[in-house]
A and B are shown apart, each in its own frame.
Chain A
């Protein structure tokens, strides 16, 4: 069920419809305009997710390809990888900025040593 929903969401037909519906108000994906059902909300989530992936593919981002997009497990892997590397970067940057500096310009202070 989930697999099929993802397959429909990544199809050219629905990706085109989704992107057009964002620009043209008269094109709607659903019969109802409000009170979206659970499956509709999940479908919109996947439409947005795959739309983002196709954009990444167009801008030739690393680790993404047509083969990856067609494969649910590899798409999940792609997001886990992105999330973890982003978290790692943020932690490294935070650690850097948390280091105590002893002056305003952040450069090392001169250390005067007594000559023996």
Chain B
């Protein structure tokens, strides 16, 4: 019985290791260049880092969108949305304070962990730190969700979409040349290939420091 359990555990561990090797290879591909080539079915796509000229176009499009959103009464600025939530009993500034408190609590645990040598204490402190990190992440996600319909957030979504239009290319099978995947914003909006859009957003995030992209890999 024990032998069987051990074999299952070994198989799970081997699978995990294989998956990690695969993910490592994928990540190494992303690191290797400032352009990422990927396949979806039998089509080849390429996403490029936003360079100076593209950035200029992106800024100009963003500016136009900002004034368009400001003129639309169905959108409000983040500040107004925060006030509206407060009236409904949802305190976003309090959530921010909570994040700061949890963060300084986490820093204290980290400070205590560094000189610790006792394995049991190390594990205990690490658990506390992980739990605090998860709490911070959960509150941040909730805050982001609450502010989804603010003008600022809509602008960020638009920035991502526009960045994809500027930087995503598709390989022409006949002549082997790279061509723009979407010529206009309407082409992009009509696209129903969710797999392509999701991959493009993910790779765009790895290539660029665009404000609109959620950064899940915060530095130390």
Interface contacts (Cβ under 8 Å), in number, total: 86
Decide: A39 and B114 in contact? CB cutoff 8 A. Answer: no
Decide: A37 and B34 in contact? CB cutoff 8 A. Answer: yes
Residues of B within 8 A of A2 (CB): 216-218
Decide: B24 and A4 in contact? CB cutoff 8 A. Answer: yes
Decide: B206 and A77 in contact? CB cutoff 8 A. Answer: no
Residues of B190-220 contacting chain A, CB below 8 A: 205-209, 216-220
Decide: A4 and B219 in contact? CB cutoff 8 A. Answer: no
Residues of A6-52 contacting chain B, CB below 8 A: 7-8, 29-32, 35-40, 42-43, 45, 49
Least Cβ–Cβ distance between A85 and chain B, in angstroms? 9
Q: Confirm or deny: A80 has a beta carbon within 8 angstroms of a beta carbon on chain B.
A: yes
Decide: B217 and A37 in contact? CB cutoff 8 A. Answer: no
Decide: B114 and A35 in contact? CB cutoff 8 A. Answer: no
Q: Confirm or deny: B51 has a beta carbon within 8 angstroms of a beta carbon on chain A.
A: yes
Partner of A40, one of B31, B126, B129, B219: B31
What 1/0 mask marks residues of chain A from 72 to 92 whose CB sits below 8 Å from any chain B CB?
Answer: 011011111110100000000
| CB contact under 8 A between A40 and B113, given known A2-B216, A35-B51, A80-B107 | no
Decide: B115 and A31 in contact? CB cutoff 8 A. Answer: no
| CB contact under 8 A between A40 and B216, given known A73-B113, A73-B126, A76-B110 | no
What 1/0 mask marks residues of chain B from 113 to 131 whose CB sits below 8 Å from any chain A CB?
Answer: 1110000001001100110
Decide: B28 and A39 in contact? CB cutoff 8 A. Answer: no
Interface size class of B (residues with CB under 8 A): 20 to 34
B-side interface mostly: helix
Residue positions of B touching A, CB distance < 8 A: 20, 23-24, 27-28, 30-35, 49, 51, 107, 110-111, 113-115, 122, 125-126, 129-130, 205-209, 216-220
Residue positions of A touching B, CB distance < 8 A: 1-2, 4-5, 7-8, 29-32, 35-40, 42-43, 45, 49, 63, 73-74, 76-82, 84
15 extra interface residue pairs, beta carbon distance < 8 Å, beyond A30-B31, A39-B30: A31-B34, A32-B34, A32-B35, A37-B34, A40-B31, A40-B34, A45-B219, A49-B220, A73-B129, A74-B113, A77-B110, A77-B114, A77-B125, A81-B110, A84-B111
